[in-house]
């Protein structure tokens, strides 16, 4: 099986000239005012042909320079790890995808919740609204709710948020619409905790981090690596969100939906495991069928507020013949799968071209700017560097579309395929 290893572009079947060009682009992106730090990683056939870092870890005068070993906030890329953890329990017959969620979490008993299945959590089709549900939870907690005693292996903040969520009914009928909501993965993490008999953090540490040698990955911000973390705590993740010490405390909460920190190469190992159909370094984490279910469209015909069809697997966004309007023009190969995070992180896997790409950054202003640059890296920078064995035409990268910088980036990262030899 393929294990990540350092090598030259030529050993990866890539063109050195094109790889040098993306290094130049990366330096330019990192020099922009909206980007604090950046790490780019690309691997083909398991050979890491690009792994570079730019920028600084924070805005302090004595800030450390970003290195390839710097810690980044995985943000919502953590959801793919949670999905993998859930599929491990599915393989063991301990978790059923078509079971009602309240079979595992009886407290989820508000009107309409009986119809929410585990698979709805994985595909964001539970009926919870990505914008409204979080606001409703915050309002309930502000008012004050009665809470049972908190389990020893569950963080009090997660305990409170879960019990607020249990009181809310879905905004739409489960299974009828995709609305991306972190609350789905908050509940999924609670199911994993209850079934496994250990904290969610301990479960992913034992079952995912250790086999993949993700020695530096952590669930929740930790003082042991805070100085090496690429983040400006003076700015909110999203407009109107917490900042400063409030943000720092929030990031210490081990939320399964977004709270993992680690290094770009560690996430690349996780991505390579998915590309390897569940194996890495002599260990099998998932059955190939589980990876197939994670990385193919599980909700055909289901729409979202961004597009007529959402195209989501169990944990990943699936690239298909039809693209969301943000991603039109992308050169990423059909059958690829991806996920991103609000802080400016994106990964993607292209099974056809045997590529893994990771773009980890921290955005200083608008989130879409960093996510956009990440997408640009995926479609523009990598695809043109692949040298096809057959004389197939190569599409030119599109210019940025004015309505969303994200569309540009998503398209540009895929051009790394133009480096293939």
Q: What are phi and psi of 420, to 5 degrees?
A: -65, 135
Integer Cα distance of 44 and 29 in angstroms: 23
Strands 355-363 and 35-44: antiparallel
Establish if 146 belongs to a structural domain. Answer: yes
Instruction: Give the residue ranges of DSSP H helices in 253-332.
Output: 264-275, 288-294
CA–CA distance from 291 to each of 9, 45, 46, 309, 376 (Å)? 28, 18, 18, 21, 26
Establish if 189 belongs to a structural domain. Answer: yes
Q: At what angle do helices 78-91 and 183-196 cross, to 10 degrees?
A: 40
Integer Cα distance of 335 and 46 in angstroms: 19
Establish if 208 belongs to a structural domain. Answer: no
Q: Tell me: the pLDDT tens digits for 212-252? A: 999 999 999 988 888 889 988 777 666 667 776 777 888 89
Q: Of 174, 203, 232, which one is at a domain's C-terminal end?
A: 203
Give which of 351, 350, 407 is closest to 382, Cα–Cα: 350
Q: Which pLDDT does position 347 carry in this prediction?
A: 92
Q: Which pLDDT does position 356 carry in this prediction?
A: 95
The verdict on 290 and 223 lying in the same domain is yes
Give the count of domains, the chain: 2
Integer Cα distance of 387 and 32 in angstroms: 31
Establish if 224 belongs to a structural domain. Answer: yes
Alpha carbon of residue 33 to chain centroid: 24
Residue 348: half-sphere exposure toward Cβ, Cα within 13 Å: 36
Q: Which pLDDT does position 191 carry in this prediction?
A: 98
Q: Which pLDDT does position 248 carry in this prediction?
A: 81
Integer Cα distance of 314 and 335 in angstroms: 14
Q: Which pLDDT does position 319 carry in this prediction?
A: 87
Going along 82-154, which residue ranges are E strands?
A: none
Task: List residues bridging with 357 in a β-sheet.
Answer: 42, 348
Those residues whose C-beta lies under 8 Å from the C-beta of residue 61, and which sit 6 or more positions away, are none
User: Which structure tokens are listed for 286?
Assistant: 């998932």
Going along 281-408, which residue ranges are E strands?
A: 283-284, 303-304, 317-318, 337-341, 345-350, 355-363
The verdict on 46 and 63 lying in the same domain is yes
The verdict on 401 and 286 lying in the same domain is yes
The verdict on 283 and 403 lying in the same domain is yes
Give which of 234, 280, 264 is closest to 59, Cα–Cα: 234
Structural domain that includes position 12: 5-72+216-419
Establish if 163 belongs to a structural domain. Answer: yes
Task: List residues bridging with 38 in a β-sheet.
Answer: 54, 361
Integer Cα distance of 398 and 377 in angstroms: 13
Establish if 209 belongs to a structural domain. Answer: no
| H or E segment to which residue 18 belongs | helix 16-30
Q: Of 203, 238, 255, which one is at a domain's C-terminal end?
A: 203
CATH number for 238: 3.40.710.10
The verdict on 85 and 63 lying in the same domain is no
Integer Cα distance of 306 and 320 in angstroms: 15
The verdict on 198 and 223 lying in the same domain is no
Give which of 307, 311, 298 is closest to 339, Cα–Cα: 311
Stretches in the chain below the pLDDT threshold 70: 236-240, 244, 305-307, 322-330, 364-418
Establish if 188 belongs to a structural domain. Answer: yes
Q: Which pLDDT does position 13 carry in this prediction?
A: 94
Q: Are 338 and 332 in contact (CB under 8 A)?
A: yes
The verdict on 170 and 223 lying in the same domain is no
The verdict on 91 and 192 lying in the same domain is yes
Q: Of 179, 203, 227, which one is at a domain's C-terminal end?
A: 203
User: Which structure tokens are listed for 337?
Assistant: 């799968």
The verdict on 169 and 234 lying in the same domain is no
User: Which structure tokens are listed for 325?
Assistant: 């309007």
297 SS3 class: coil
Establish if 129 belongs to a structural domain. Answer: yes
Integer Cα distance of 66 and 178 in angstroms: 37
Sign of CA dihedral 62, 67, 69, 74: positive
The verdict on 273 and 398 lying in the same domain is yes
The verdict on 43 and 154 lying in the same domain is no
The verdict on 249 and 197 lying in the same domain is no
| H or E segment to which residue 85 belongs | helix 78-91
Integer Cα distance of 415 and 395 in angstroms: 9
């Amino acid at each position: 099986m393929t294990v990540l290893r350092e090598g030259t572009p030529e050993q990866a079947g890539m063109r050195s000239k094109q790889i040098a060009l993306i290094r130049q682009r990366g330096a330019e992106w990192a020099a922009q005012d909206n980007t604090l730090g950046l790490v780019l990683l690309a691997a083909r056939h398991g050979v890491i042909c690009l792994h570079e870092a730019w920028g600084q870890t924070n805005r302090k005068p004595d800030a450390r320079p970003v290195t390839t070993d710097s810690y980044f906030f995985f943000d919502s890329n953590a959801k793919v790890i949670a999905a993998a953890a859930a599929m491990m329990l599915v393989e063991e017959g301990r978790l059923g995808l078509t079971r009602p969620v309240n079979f595992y979490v009886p407290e989820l008993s508000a009107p309409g919740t009986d119809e929410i299945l585990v698979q709805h959590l994985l595909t964001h089709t539970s009926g919870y609204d990505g914008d409204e549900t979080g606001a409703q939870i915050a309002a309930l907690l502000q008012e004050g709710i009665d809470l049972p005693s908190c389990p020893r292996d569950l963080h009090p903040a997660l305990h409170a948020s879960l019990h607020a969520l249990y009181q809310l009914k879905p905004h739409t009928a489960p299974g009828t619409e995709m609305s991306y909501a972190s609350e789905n993965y908050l509940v999924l993490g609670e199911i994993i905790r209850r079934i496994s008999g250990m904290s969610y953090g301990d479960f992913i540490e034992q079952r995912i981090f250790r086999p993949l040698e993700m020695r530096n990955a952590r669930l929740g911000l930790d003082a042991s690596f805070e100085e090496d973390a690429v983040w400006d705590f003076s700015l909110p993740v999203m407009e109107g969100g917490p900042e400063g010490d409030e943000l720092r405390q929030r990031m210490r909460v081990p939320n399964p939906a977004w709270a993992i920190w680690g290094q770009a190469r560690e996430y690349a190992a996780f991505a390579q495991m998915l590309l390897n159909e569940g194996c890495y370094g002599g260990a099998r984490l998932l059955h190939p069928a589980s990876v197939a279910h994670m990385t193919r469209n599980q909700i055909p015909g289901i729409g979202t507020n961004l597009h007529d069809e959402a195209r989501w697997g169990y944990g990943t966004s699936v690239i298909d013949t039809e693209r969301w309007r943000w991603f039109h023009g992308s050169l990423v190969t059909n059958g690829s799968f991806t996920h991103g995070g609000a802080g400016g992180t994106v990964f993607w896997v292209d099974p056809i071209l045997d590529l893994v790409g990771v773009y980890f950054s921290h955005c200083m202003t608008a989130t879409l700017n960093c996510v956009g640059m990440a997408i640009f890296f995926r479609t523009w920078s990598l695809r043109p560097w692949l040298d096809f064995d057959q004389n197939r035409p190569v599409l030119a990268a599109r210019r940025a579309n004015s309505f969303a910088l994200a569309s540009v980036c998503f398209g540009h990262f895929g051009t790394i395929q133009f480096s293939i030899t």
